[in-house]
Amino acid sequence: MDRGLYIAASGMLAEMARQDLLANDLANVSTAGYKADRASQRSFSEVMLENTRTGQPIGPIGSGAAIARQVTDFTGAPSKDTGEPLDFAVAGDGFFAVRTAQGTRYTRNGSFQTAGNGTLTDQLGNPVLGQGGQTIRVAADGSVPATSLGLFTLTTPRKIGDGMFSGTPAGRGTGTIKSGSLESSGVDPTRTMVDMMASMRAYESGQKVIQTIDQTLEKAATQVGTSS
């Protein structure tokens, strides 16, 4: 009975972590250049059951589940035309670079703007960088040539929030930069909603298992123990 409680509880915890990822994806379904996360589960080591009287093998039983790893899907999403001169989309491999208080960070969100000093910044006010790490000036007509922007390939990119990634630059990205466009979010809302519903059903199944075991234990304690 106790083993069943632990197995059900571990499955519920794994589904809670999965639901957090899915909820974050749904919240960014309209965020330019956003990349969805994926979580894979693994089971704990199995225990081989056998008949205690005859020693005959019965079969294995799992001892619970957990999130094995979380990965970001970097598959490129289609770009959409905005007509805004400071909107840029990456088609193919590559990231824009911005200078933050924590150092250089990278993003696929090319929704930029002009700062008070005439330099190109992201929506958080971080300067956008060229291929040589220099800041970029916005022309008097409010435009910036796409060739002025840096495009970087990253090794081991890691999502750190606000559409930003950390990683080690490894040369110029092989993609192309298109002005007047933004890359769409990498979230498929239909698939994500289906995954969320499946996760919620799995979570509810764990709840029902715990309730059933609890009722069985209650009967064992209050009825079986007092029966003549």
**195 — phi, psi (to 5°)?**
-65, -40
If we measure between CA atoms, which residue out of 158, 124, 170 comes closest to residue 37?
Answer: 158
Q: CA-to-CA distance for 99 and 122, rounded, in angstroms?
A: 10
DSSP string for 47-64: EEEE-TTT--EEEEE---
Q: What is the pLDDT along the chain (228 residues), one digit of tens a residue?
A: 567 787 888 888 889 999 999 999 999 999 999 999 988 877 666 555 566 677 777 666 666 777 778 889 999 999 999 999 999 999 999 999 999 999 999 999 999 999 999 999 999 999 999 999 999 999 999 999 999 999 999 999 999 988 999 999 999 999 999 999 999 999 999 999 999 999 999 999 989 988 998 888 888 778 765 655
Amino acid at the residue 20: D
Domain locations in the chain as residue ranges:
2-74+187-226, 79-183
